[in-house]
Amino acid sequence: MRRNDHRAHGHPSWWAFWLHRVSGLLLALFLPLHFLALGQALRGPGALEGFLRFADAPLVKLAEWGLVTLLALHLTGGVRLLLIEFGRASDLRKNWIAGGIGVAFATGLAFALSLLS
Amino acid sequence: MQDKTLDVRIWRGQGPDDGGRFVDYTVPRLDSQTVLDVVTHVQRVLDPTLSYRFACRVGMCGSCAMSVNGQARWTCRTHVAKVVGGDGDVLEIAPLANLPVVKDLATDMTGFFDKWARARGQFQGAQTRQDDFARVSPATPERQAADAGIECIGCGVCYGSCDVVQWRPDFLGPAALNRAWTLVNDVRDTARTERLRAVAGDAGCHSCHTQGSCTERCPKGIAPTLAIAGLKRTVARAAVKGEL
Amino acid sequence: MPGAALRDAVAQARRWYWQRISAMVLALCVVLHLAGMVWAVRGGLSAAEILSRTQGNLLFAGFYTVFVLACAVHVPIGLVSIAREWWRWSPMAAAWFARIVTAALLLLGLRAVWGVYAPGA
């Protein structure tokens, strides 16, 4: 049987799905690392401090911004899904996709500005 | 007067076990030409061995559903001008995705309708011809929800567009679930519990990820995504209350 | 409907339901967490700063415990869909994957909460 390719995927709702799934996957991979890092505090404040100084590296800061943005994207996309599934949406709420992406990047920007301050 | 031509690639295959391949044809390009016109021209003039389905050719029956440039459409309602841009562009015509291919552009819709039945897409009533008519107000939320989905003619475009159908072969699919939702909202129906059971589970509504390709492509403007969302709510509520 | 199939269908319905409930909890937690992070990383972040706010702080510990529990419910259910649909794992493999992820998130997450709450290590 024939399979669909990217041409069948070229609409906002599909991209919202893909973004939601991929952001969730990346966050799921990150989460254990996040817990391990914080758990360093069990070895004393020195161990946690050591990790935080490692995290000062610009590349790490960039990754942090990325993660914050991914989390915000997953959140706004998820809220859209909750509204479609539990609310009485009459369509696929594509305007919420745009709004959600906007809010997510605004959050990322706020975080970036805080990092740089 | 110059004769414009259109380059067409049509998928040809002998059956479900034949790998199949695209074959190139050149047809006259006309004004107000639909994709079905193109397929018909190929079969009548260029290659009588081409197999395809159509019936009404006026956008009522859904028989002519095919994949046009990778998107499921009714070919009788798709103007070539809408899917082919410039003069050099190729028109690609293939059978609907997610269905076994019988030959060339004709797919085997048995599985599609089997899933319709598995989702309990049949009305079951308790009244006889001796009883009075049922009185159902069109203004109630249930009837409006049902009315939003009852125009489905089972063309398969939504089913052919859904990735979850591709990833989970048992998934009942948007059309079957949409039909189930219209019946869940039919106050005259008496098979509610069996139907909710039928649409729960991995093969049912809970596997829909709201990709929305079905809603995007439905030629009748139905939104199976929203019907399935309704089923998710209803099934979950029934499961929690122990009614399933 | 045969018994096993019905039980499976009910289990799926519950999983969907729990994922959405945990999603609502997480929506709240994440908004608060993100706001907190944007505020906290101003002017740099140090262990002393973090620990001075979290050690002995029951409200913090309570909030983040709820956060970890919600994650432990929400993340595995999402990962199972990916495992079944994109990686083509069998239902059994995906179910075990979910159990392992749940256990790991609970273990590491609650350990982390304790790590920053426990006074003076």
- In chain B, the number of structural domains is 2
**Structure tokens belonging to residue C15:** 């999983």
Same domain, B121 and B210: yes
Confidence bin at B244 (pLDDT 50/70/90)? confident
Average pLDDT score over chain A: 90
Same domain, B67 and B20: yes
Q: Range of B86's domain?
A: 5-107
Give per-residue pLDDT as tens, A36-93. 988 887 777 788 888 888 888 888 889 999 999 999 999 999 999 999 999 877 777 8
Give per-residue pLDDT as tens, B141-169. 999 999 999 999 999 999 999 999 999 99
**Is the model's pLDDT at B1 over the cut of 60?**
no
Q: Tell me the ipTM for this assembly.
A: 0.90
Residue B209: CB partners within 8 Å, gap ≥ 6?
A: A17, A21, B164, C81
Domain-terminating residue out of B76, B107, B138 = B107
- Are the C-beta atoms of B93 and B50 separated by less than 8 Å? no
What distances in angstroms separate CA B188 from CA B3, B126, B199, B237, B244, one per listed residue? Answer: 59, 8, 19, 21, 19
Selecting from B194, B206, B244 the residue whose C-beta is nearest the C-beta of C16 gives: B206
Same domain, B175 and B230: yes
Closest C-alpha to A100, from A69, A77, A66, A68: A77
The CATH number for B164's domain is 1.10.1060.10
Strands B5-12 and B65-68: unpaired
Same domain, B134 and B17: no
Selecting from B167, B168, B200 the residue whose C-beta is nearest the C-beta of C13 gives: B200
Domain-terminating residue out of B72, B107, B142 = B107
Per the CB < 8 Å rule, is A4 touching B11?
no
Closest C-alpha to A51, from C113, B77, C50, B159: C50
The answer to whether C21 contacts chain B (CB < 8 Å) is: no
Beta bridge partners of B67: B72, B94
DSSP letter assigned to residue B236: H
- Are the C-beta atoms of B227 and B210 separated by less than 8 Å? no
CATH of domain A12-116: 1.20.1300.10
The answer to whether C63 contacts chain A (CB < 8 Å) is: no
Residue B50: CB partners within 8 Å, gap ≥ 6?
A: B10, B12, B39, B42, B43, B104, B105
- In chain C, the number of structural domains is 1
The chain A residues in contact with chain C (CB within 8 A) are: 21, 24-25, 28, 31-32, 34-46, 48-49, 52, 55-56, 68, 71-72, 75, 78-79, 81-82, 85-86, 107, 110-111, 114-115, 117
**Is the model's pLDDT at C70 over the cut of 90?**
yes
The CATH number for C10's domain is 1.20.1300.10
- Are the C-beta atoms of B235 and B206 separated by less than 8 Å? yes
Instruction: Specify the pLDDT at position C120.
Output: 63
Per the CB < 8 Å rule, is C9 touching B209?
no
Crossing angle, helix A12-39 and helix C91-117, to 10 degrees? 50
Same domain, B141 and B186: yes
Same domain, B101 and B189: no
Give per-residue pLDDT as tens, B182-219. 999 999 999 999 999 999 978 999 999 999 999 999 99
The chain B residues in contact with chain A (CB within 8 A) are: 11, 16, 67, 69-72, 94-101, 107, 160-161, 163, 166, 209-213, 215-216, 223, 225-226, 229, 232-233
| Residue C62 to residue B147: CA distance in whole angstroms | 48
SS3 state at B11: strand
Beta bridge partners of B66: B73
Same domain, B198 and B235: yes
Instruction: Specify the pLDDT at position B190.
Output: 95
Domain-terminating residue out of B107, B133, B153 = B107
**The residue to which tokens 């729960």 are assigned:** B200
